[in-house]
Amino acid sequence: MTDIKLEEKWQRKWQDARIFQSDPDEREKLFLTVAYPYPSGAMHIGHGRTYTVPDVYARFKRMQGYNVLFPMGWHVTGAPVIGIAKRIARQDPWTLNIYKNVHKVPEEELARFSDANYIVDYFSSQYKDVMQQMGYSIDWRREFKTIDPTYQKFIEWQICKLRAKGLVRKGAHPVKYCPECQNPVGDHDLLEGEGVGINELTLIKFEIDGAYLVPATFRPETIYGVTNLWLNPDVNYIKIEIQGEEWIISREAYDNLVHQKQDIKIIAEVDPQKLIGKYVKNPITHEEHIILPASFVDPEYASGVVYSVPGHAPADYIALQDLKKDSELMKKYDLEDAVQKIRPLNVITLKDFGEFPAEEMIQKFRVENQDDTRLKEATNELYKLEHAKGVISEHITDYAGLPVAQARDEITKELRDSGRGDIMYDFAERPVICRCGGKCVVRILEDQWFLKYSDTPWKELTMKCLSQMEIVPEEVRANFDYYINWLHDWACSRRIGLGTKLPWDPQWIIEPLSDSTIYMAYYAIATHIKKMNAADLDDSFFDKVFLDKNDSYTGKIDEELLKKVKDEFNYWYPLNWRLSAKDLIGNHLTFHLFHHSAIFPKNKWPKGAVVFGMGLLEGNKMSSSKGNVILLSEAIETHGSDVVRLFLMASAEPWQDFDWRENELKGIKKRLEWFSEFAGRVEELNGSKIDLKSYKLNSDPEKSINTWLLSQINIRVREATQALEGFQTRKALQESLFLLKKDVDHYFYRIEPDLEDEKFKSEVAATLIYVLNIWIRLMTPFTPHICEELWNKHGGSGFISEAPWPQYDETVINEKVQKAEEIVTGLSEDINEIKKILNKEPEKIHIYIAPEWKWKIFDIAAEVGKPDIGRIMQEAIKQDVHQDKKEIAGFAKKIAREMTKINYVGKIDEYSVIKDSLEFLSRESGAEVLVYKEPTYDPEGKSGNALPYKPAIYIE
RNA sequence: GCAGGGGUGCCCGAGCCAGGUCAAAGGGGACAGGCUUAGGACCUGUUGGCGUAGGCCUACCAGGGUUCGAAUCCCUGCCCCUGCACCA
Q: Which pLDDT tens digit goes with each residue over A328-362?
A: 888 998 988 888 889 999 998 877 778 888 888 88
* Distance, Å, A187 CA → B87 C1': 7
Q: Compute φ and ψ for A127, nearest 5 degrees.
A: -55, -45
State the CATH architecture for A662-813. Orthogonal Bundle (1.10)
Predicted confidence (pLDDT) per residue in A122-132, tens digit: 999 999 999 99
Q: Find and list the nucleotides of strand B having atoms within 7 Å of a protein beta carbon.
A: 1-6, 12-14, 20-21, 23, 25-29, 41-44, 46, 51-54, 68-69, 82-88
For B51, which residue's CA is nearest its C1'?
A: A837
Task: Tell whether the torsion through CA atoms of A856, A860, A862 and A868 is positive or negative.
Answer: negative
Going by CATH, does the domain composed of A198-427 fall within 3.30.230.10? no
Per-residue pLDDT, A430: 75
* Distance, Å, A583 CA → B82 C1': 9
Per-residue pLDDT, A858: 87
* Distance, Å, A863 CA → B19 C1': 20
The structural domains of chain A, with segments of one domain joined by +, span 1-146+613-660, 198-427, 662-813, 830-955
Scanning every strand, the nucleotide with its C1' closest to A866's CA turns out to be: B68
* Distance, Å, A749 CA → B35 C1': 14
For B83, which residue's CA is nearest its C1'?
A: A583
Taking the C-alpha atoms of A912, A917, A922 and A925 in order, what is their torsion angle to the nearest 10 degrees? -100
Residue A859 to residue A861: CA distance in whole angstroms: 5
Question: What's the farthest any 2 CA atoms get from each other in chain A?
Answer: 118
Scanning every strand, the nucleotide with its C1' closest to A494's CA turns out to be: B86
Burial class (CB in 10 A: 0-12, 13-18, 19+), A451: buried
Scanning every strand, the nucleotide with its C1' closest to A389's CA turns out to be: B1
For B81, which residue's CA is nearest its C1'?
A: A657
Scanning every strand, the nucleotide with its C1' closest to A146's CA turns out to be: B88
Scanning every strand, the nucleotide with its C1' closest to A868's CA turns out to be: B68
Going by CATH, does the domain composed of A1-146+613-660 fall within 3.40.50.620? yes
Q: What is the ipTM of this complex?
A: 0.92
Taking the C-alpha atoms of A38, A39, A43 and A49 in order, what is their torsion angle to the nearest 10 degrees? 20
Provide DSSP, A793-860: HTT--S-GGGSPPPPP-TTT--HHHHHHHHHHHHHHHHHHHHHHHHTS--SEEEEEPPPHHHHHHHHH
* Distance, Å, A721 CA → B9 C1': 30
Scanning every strand, the nucleotide with its C1' closest to A174's CA turns out to be: B86
Predicted confidence (pLDDT) per residue in A387-427, tens digit: 777 788 888 888 888 878 778 888 888 888 888 999 888 88
For B4, which residue's CA is nearest its C1'?
A: A479
* Distance, Å, A687 CA → B80 C1': 58
Closest Cα partner for A815 from A956, A712, A681, A703? A712
Scanning every strand, the nucleotide with its C1' closest to A39's CA turns out to be: B88
* Distance, Å, A806 CA → B65 C1': 49
Give all strands (DSSP E) within A851-899, no chain letters: none
Residue A516 to residue A816: CA distance in whole angstroms: 55
Three-state secondary-structure class, residue A429: coil
Scanning every strand, the nucleotide with its C1' closest to A842's CA turns out to be: B53
Scanning every strand, the nucleotide with its C1' closest to A846's CA turns out to be: B53
* Distance, Å, A670 CA → B38 C1': 22
The number of residues making up chain A comes to 956
* Distance, Å, A619 CA → B8 C1': 19
Scanning every strand, the nucleotide with its C1' closest to A924's CA turns out to be: B44
* Distance, Å, A663 CA → B41 C1': 16
Scanning every strand, the nucleotide with its C1' closest to A845's CA turns out to be: B53
Distances (CA, A) of A924 to A683, A750, A829, A836: 27, 10, 9, 13
* Distance, Å, A318 CA → B73 C1': 52
Predicted confidence (pLDDT) per residue in A935-952, tens digit: 899 888 888 888 888 899
* Distance, Å, A464 CA → B1 C1': 30
Extract the residue ranges of chain A whose pLDDT is less than 50: none
For B87, which residue's CA is nearest its C1'?
A: A186
Closest Cα partner for A600 from A676, A520, A665? A520
Scanning every strand, the nucleotide with its C1' closest to A511's CA turns out to be: B86
Percent helix, strand, coil in chain A, to 5, is 50, 15, 35
CB distance A146 to A76 below 8 Å:
yes
* Distance, Å, A674 CA → B42 C1': 9
For B5, which residue's CA is nearest its C1'?
A: A475
Residue A714 to residue A688: CA distance in whole angstroms: 26
Residue type at A591? Answer: F
* Distance, Å, A665 CA → B30 C1': 19
Closest Cα partner for A621 from A45, A40, A36? A45
* Distance, Å, A230 CA → B77 C1': 44
* Distance, Å, A926 CA → B48 C1': 30
A849 contact partners, CB below 8 Å, separation of at least 6 = A910, A911, A914, A931, A932, A933, A946, A951, A952
Element housing A288 (H / E): strand A288-293
For B44, which residue's CA is nearest its C1'?
A: A749
For B52, which residue's CA is nearest its C1'?
A: A838
Scanning every strand, the nucleotide with its C1' closest to A473's CA turns out to be: B5
